[in-house]
Structure 1
């Protein structure tokens, strides 16, 4: 497997140097910060990601204050208690995004999050405790428990709320193939396990978080 120093050197060359690269890299939130975020905020971010999928992010973000009002600031108990009539009304509300399946997914996700809170005390604590060296398992768990978090939505949600994760964007997948790390479909358990191992090895060698490793990979190819 290509040493990450080689990949990072190429990324620096393409973006204009060490400082230019570093200025574009993000940092994850520490576990203690993740544990302190309220469940309502996680529910809000999760469903914002659900609505962003397939739509312009700016459009969703512009509408999100109206979603906060419509869904009672995403209070878990309140949203979980919405009945079908409430959701059908919201699915016709022109101040929101009128996507019936995603509107109904908000309630489904509130109910699913309640179960985690009942078991672990808070969603943030559950998220913070999940080890990054098994992050693809967390993707699968989110997809299993929640609605409309398929594809890249689960890792994108984690990135939005600050949990350290790599993303398998088109650029990252192309870079993995370019550097001889992994080539082929990235959806099987075997493929994800192989890619997780590569990121684990790079994290140990560089002491960089996964989010930065995947950014540098994306920057390392034309």
Structure 2
């Protein structure tokens, strides 16, 4: 099934090709991913974890206070932070005081530090992982990190510019409409079905996975 029909539909719904292209997400070059500091990766992971199941605009509005409270998210510090620091954060009114989510910071800091030591940087590790195996990367993050199941890891990858799809509600609806997904959205089977569809469209069009995902989402809803 050609992606051109989907592209034309999204373009028409968004007021033309120029407008559609202006709405597509940024895709980072491998060098950009590699040069981004490990503290920025821990920050973005934490932001996506706190957004999950919460009002996103509240987290965005408070994020400068999160940065201050978490002292810039330096992984080497947070990987071995004492418990009393986490307890203080659970009382800090500058942030959303969810202890379960606060505890993910040292866990994900350890993941980043260990990976950076092995690969020369967490961004270097991400840059080396191919988009045609996004499922493998998502499973790796879920296995090695904390609270990185569901869509949190997908949104994290999008925010840092790694080229991948997001199984948002609109994308799931569109894939089902095209009869390309029949599994539960949170399952490994659904991820593999989505990967197969987006890889085929990427080979057809040469477009980045993140662009294909966003364009597909624009064929659903208002």
Determine if the alignment matches structure 1 residue 35 to structure 2 residue 34: yes
Determine if the alignment matches structure 1 residue 129 to structure 2 residue 128: yes
Q: Which has the higher helix share?
A: 1
CA contact (8 A) 2:42 2:108 kept: yes
Q: Which residue of 2 aligns with 1:143?
A: 142
Deviations 1:27-78 (A, max 9, x none): 3101111000010111111101111111222211222222222222111111
CA separation in 2, counterparts of 1:68 and 1:23?
A: 30
CA separation in 2, counterparts of 1:146 and 1:28?
A: 23
Q: Which residue of 2 aligns with 1:52?
A: 51
1:190-209 mapped onto 2 (5 Å cutoff) = 190-209=189-208
CA separation in 2, counterparts of 1:109 and 1:192?
A: 23
Deviations 1:62-105 (A, max 9, x none): 22222222222111111122111110011011111110111111
CA contact (8 A) 1:182 1:195 kept: yes
> Bigger relative contact order, structure 1 or 2, given CA contacts below 8 A and separation 6+?
1
Distance 1:142 1:14, change over 3 A: same
Deviations 1:146-204 (A, max 9, x none): 11111100111000111111000110011011122223313333332222111111001
Deviations 1:109-159 (A, max 9, x none): 111211111211110000010000001111111111111111100111000
Q: Which residue of 2 aligns with 1:24?
A: 23
Determine if the alignment matches structure 1 residue 103 to structure 2 residue 92: no
CA separation in 2, counterparts of 1:167 and 1:140?
A: 14
CA contact (8 A) 2:183 2:189 kept: no
CA separation in 1, counterparts of 2:49 and 2:133?
A: 23
The count of residues paired between Structure 1 and Structure 2 equals 221
Structure 1 regions of 5+ residues with no counterpart? none
CA separation in 1, counterparts of 2:34 and 2:141?
A: 17
CA RMSD of aligned residues (A): 1.3
CA separation in 2, counterparts of 1:5 and 1:153?
A: 30
With 31-40 and 72-81 compared, the bigger mean Cα shift is at 72-81
CA separation in 2, counterparts of 1:124 and 1:30?
A: 11
CA contact (8 A) 1:40 1:74 kept: yes
